[in-house]
């Protein structure tokens, strides 16, 4: 495929420097297993699972076949006042994977939609219980919860909401983030310092009143802001404070769900169960857009029992539980189970940890942090050019046949769970060599 055959003008690309990209495009033409093939025929090792989503590797035949069969059998089914068997089958399969207590599934099409859905569920739950004044949300600095107005309001990445700041949700507070290089640099797994940062929630409660707060939403591991790993005891403390004050706890597991941390979900890895959980990405291996919210039965029952006859929750999407997405998800779950990919990720964690931390001492590297099969390699920023060094590293790695993800001056690595140790070595070799040459 020749790039001159494709016009790049019409598409307004997401989260992309459009003018710069279109002057020197990076086009992907095909994919299989651990690799993409670029438009100019080069093999690109995927160190980012696409965009945190291709956990079982690319173009897996069972998933492709399931999608094709479903497209030929029934391409669409209306989700309002109607249903189709695959959506109910998938819900049962998902519930069987979840920590005890989460047993209701609401389908969306993305993580962004899942977050806004969970926020609405929290409001509806408190309203159903006669506490409509519980309308405040608590997010966290540097948190990423998608791009809906609810998500960017509770999120804590300022660049994502700067242009839209006049229309944010009004009743939102933010906890401090947990990143502190002085205390936790080059931590392996969960850092020891920082559990006390959860106590900032008690300050919000004291200032706002517990009876005004609907929910706290956090990523168990913050991915898009640069791989921030929760300190030991931090999530447990958040759970305890929420329980004490009747506040719902929402985990955004769009990135951490489906094996990324060597367990089904971060909730299982850390032993902390939220009241609501958002997922997407790995639910279909990225093959068809899909997201979901998992809810405790008590939330579902409260909303339904407080309603009269008819619709109980006035929310949903045209493509909720889309037949092709359900087919892809079921085939994906089969692959995860038959190939033992969650356990495989856990078995590779120590090798991955040693390999990533071997970059300590590499030029520009000021921190390495890891958990499961995810790692953040933080670089010293250039003066007056935050993010420039990491982005140059990204483009040079692509030229050298490696796809990475960068956010600010942090390199985020999260390969498909099928990665081999030799491919891990290759990633670190290319990355180290590129960093040695980056100014």
Residue 5 has pLDDT above 90, yes or no: no
pLDDT at 308: 87
Instruction: Evaluate if residue 371 carries a pLDDT over 50.
Output: yes
* pLDDT band at residue 1 under the 50/70/90 scheme: very low
Tens of pLDDT, residues 377-436: 999 999 999 999 999 999 999 999 999 999 999 999 999 999 999 999 999 999 999 999
3-state secondary structure the chain: CCHHHCCCCCCCCCCCCHHHHHHCCCCEEEEEECEEEECCCCEEEECCHHHHCCCCCECCHHHHHHHHHHHHHCCCCCCCCCCCHHHHHHHHHHHHHCCCCEEEEEEECCHHHHHHHHHHHHHHHHHHCCCCCCCEEEEECCCCCCCCHHHHHHCCCHHHCHHHHHHCCCCEEEECCCCCHHHHCCCECCCCCCHHHHHHHHHHHHHHCHHHEEEEEECCCECCCCCECCCCCHHHHHHHHHHHHCCEEEEECCCCCCCCCCCCCHHHHHCCCCCEEEECHHHCCCCCCCEEEEEEHHHHHHHHHCCCCCCCCCCCCCCCCCHHHHHHHHHHHHHHHHCCHHHHHHHHHHHHHHHHHCCCCCCCEEEEEEECCEEEEEECCECCECCHHHHHHHHHHHHCCEECEEECCEEEECCCCCCCHHHHHHHHHHHHHHHHHCC
Looking at the chain, the whole-number percentage of residues with pLDDT higher than 70 is 99
Confidence at 104, pLDDT banded by 50, 70, 90: very high
Please determine, for residue 247, whether its predicted confidence score (pLDDT) is greater than 70. Answer: yes
- What are the tens digits of pLDDT across the range 218-233? 999 999 999 999 999 9
- Does residue 3 surpass a pLDDT of 70? no
pLDDT digits (tens, 9 = 90+) for 277-328: 999 999 999 999 999 999 999 999 999 999 989 999 999 999 999 999 999 9
CATH for 3-56+340-437 is: 3.90.1150.10
Are 3-56+340-437 and 65-338 in the same CATH fold? no
User: Does residue 252 have a pLDDT over 60?
Assistant: yes
Residue range 68-76: mean pLDDT, rounded: 98
Report whether CATH 3.40.640.10 matches the domain 65-338: yes
pLDDT at 331 over 90: yes
pLDDT, tens digit (0-9, with 9 covering 90-100), for 211-221? 999 999 999 99
Q: What residue segments make up the domains of the chain, in order of their start?
A: 3-56+340-437, 65-338
Average pLDDT over residues 348-363: 98
Q: Is the pLDDT of residue 4 over 90?
A: no
């Amino acid at each position: 495929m020749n790039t001159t055959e494709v016009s790049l003008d019409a598409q307004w690309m997401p989260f992309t420097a459009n003018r710069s990209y279109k002057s020197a495009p990076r086009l992907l033409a095909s994919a299989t297993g651990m690799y993409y093939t670029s438009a100019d025929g080069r093999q690109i090792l995927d160190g980012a699972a696409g965009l945190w989503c291709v956990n079982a590797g690319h173009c897996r035949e069972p998933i492709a076949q399931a999608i094709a069969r479903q497209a030929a059998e029934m391409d669409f089914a209306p989700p309002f006042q109607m249903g189709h068997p695959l959506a109910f089958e998938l819900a049962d399969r998902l519930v069987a994977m979840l920590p005890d207590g989460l047993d209701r599934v609401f389908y969306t099409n993305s993580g962004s939609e899942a977050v806004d859905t969970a926020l609405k569920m929290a409001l509806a739950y408190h309203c159903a219980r006669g506490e409509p004044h519980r309308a405040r949300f608590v997010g966290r600095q540097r948190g990423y919860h998608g791009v809906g107005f609810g998500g960017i309001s509770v999120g804590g990445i300022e660049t994502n909401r700067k242009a839209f700041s006049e229309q944010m949700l009004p009743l939102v507070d933010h906890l401090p983030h947990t990143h502190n290089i002085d205390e936790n640099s080059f931590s392996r797994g969960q850092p020891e310092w920082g559990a006390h940062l959860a106590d900032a929630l008690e300050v919000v409660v004291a200032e706002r009143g517990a009876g005004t707060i609907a929910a706290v939403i956090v990523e168990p591991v913050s991915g898009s802001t640069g791989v921030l790993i929760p300190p030991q005891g931090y999530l447990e403390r958040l759970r305890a404070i929420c329980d004490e004050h009747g506040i719902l706890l929402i985990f955004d597991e769009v990135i951490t769900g489906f094996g990324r941390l060597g367990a089904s979900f971060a909730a299982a890895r850390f032993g902390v169960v939220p009241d609501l959980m958002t997922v997407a990405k790995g639910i279909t291996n990225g093959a068809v857009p899909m997201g979901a919210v998992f809810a405790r039965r008590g939330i579902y029952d409260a909303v339904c029992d407080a309603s009269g006859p008819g619709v109980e929750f006035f929310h949903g999407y045209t493509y909720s539980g889309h037949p092709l997405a359900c087919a892809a998800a079921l085939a994906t779950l089969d692959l995860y189970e038959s190939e033992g990919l969650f356990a495989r990720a856990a078995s590779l964690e120590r090798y991955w940890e040693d390999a990533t931390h071997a970059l300590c001492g590499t030029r520009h590297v000021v921190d390495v942090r890891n958990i499961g099969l995810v790692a953040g390699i933080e670089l010293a920023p250039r003066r007056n050019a935050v993010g420039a060094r990491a982005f140059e590293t990204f483009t040079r790695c692509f030229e050298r046949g490696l796809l990475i993800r960068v956010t600010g001056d942090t390199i985020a690595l999260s390969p498909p769970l099928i990665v081999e140790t030799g491919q891990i070595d290759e990633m670190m070799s290319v990355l180290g060599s590129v960093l040695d040459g980056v100014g």
